[in-house]
Amino acid sequence: MTFLRVIVFSTVLLGFYALFAHTLPQVEPDLSEPVEVSTDGLDMEGMIALGESLFTGKGTCTLCHNGMGRAPDMLEMDLAATFPSRLADPKYTGVSAGKSGPEAIEAYIRESMQHPSAYVVAGFGKKGTNDTESPMPVVDKAPIELSNVEMNAVIAFLQDRAGLEPTVPLPSADEAPVAETPSAEGMVEAPVTDALAAIDKYNCAACHNLKGSGADLGPELGGIANRMSRAEVMEAILDPNATIAEGFSAGLMPQDFSEEMHTSELLLIVDYLLALPEAAPKEEVDEEEPLATSGLEVIDKFGCAGCHDLDDSGADVGPRLQGIAKRMSREELQTAITDPNASIAEGFEPDLMPDDFGDTIADSEMTLLLDYLMNLPE
């Protein structure tokens, strides 16, 4: 029933113009203005459907929340189990800490969108912040800018996926309608006519530090003219996997700009990027975290206890480390930390434990860490 309703709703309201542009090419609607979707009279199933279209569309959530491992894959994972376990996590101190039930989960999702760093899922924090800072952009600010009604719709969608009755309010008749830029399949959107609008349209600033977004999922593009030719910049946009920027993973930058982008937009973006001044060097002082001076500090700095039970915290993403000296030599322990996928502890998944500790843990810190773990009692 919900599914049918989703199809009907999205076809009728969101895909209306697409359908027309598709089947009746003589009726050419003006697509340069966003289409206003009235939220007047929307019921909860409509909210859920709207939330789904925002999640994959305007909200750009699936740019990161996908199977690439950059963010929890919310469309695949078991949300019914995940959300309650987040609220129960002793590391979570946000608005719903210690609470349970659908309202608490509503508040948790809203907080995730407005204050992403209130809780950072272990292993997903910004590099070097020990999972204290989330790379996720605030979604009710530019460039994503979801309205309250739109955030409620996304929450309704996620609550529904978690098997809950959505608890968000329905939009009232006088609430501002939702502006939805049509982007249904099969339709070509009218090109935008300035570079910043094009960068917004394709959400480059969600991953690159553009327009002051501070994002660092993709390389800094300031001063790019000094290291890439015009042709190379174009190729990097149209065929991102042809060459991969050092230190970044393949497959993350969207592959379909070549199909979606108008040539005029590409030229605007490329001109804009090539004119960007060299980015101000980051403050080195902030970058260098001080070296930890005890085993416990190392564990704290690198977030081991978020996944491992070290002090009866109950964390169970990775094996308990109490009494590890009975199971492993010091050398084996070091390898398990620096090259976690070399052998996988029985009953646990590979690829969960960060694999860059060999680079990020200083030698002096490694010694302290091994001393500490080898002496951890059963």
Residue pair 150/14 in contact (Cβ under 8 Å)? The answer is no
In what helix (H) or strand (E) does residue 369 lie, and over which residues does it extend?
A: helix 363-374
31 vs 299, which CB is nearer to ligand HEC?
Answer: 299
45 vs 150, which CB is nearer to ligand HEC?
Answer: 150
171 vs 218, which CB is nearer to ligand HEC?
Answer: 218
In three-state secondary structure terms, 373 is helix
Shortest spacing between CB 251 and ligand HEC, in angstroms: 8
CA dihedral (188, 191, 195, 198) positive or negative: negative
22 vs 127, which CB is nearer to ligand HEC?
Answer: 127
170 vs 274, which CB is nearer to ligand HEC?
Answer: 274
Shortest spacing between CB 23 and ligand HEC, in angstroms: 30
Q: Which residues of 106-141 are buried (b: 16+ CB within 10 A; e: fewer)?
A: bbbbbbbbeebbbbbbbebbbeeebbeebbbbebee
14 vs 113, which CB is nearer to ligand HEC?
Answer: 113
- Name the maximum alpha-carbon separation found in the chain: 77
Shortest spacing between CB 65 and ligand HEC, in angstroms: 6
Shortest spacing between CB 28 and ligand HEC, in angstroms: 26
Distance CA 245, CA 253 (A): 11
Shortest spacing between CB 307 and ligand HEC, in angstroms: 3
- Alpha-carbon separation of residue 239 from 150, 233, 243, 256, 360 (angstroms): 32, 10, 8, 8, 31
CA dihedral (239, 244, 250, 253) positive or negative: negative
Distance CA 196, CA 142 (A): 12
Shortest spacing between CB 32 and ligand HEC, in angstroms: 19
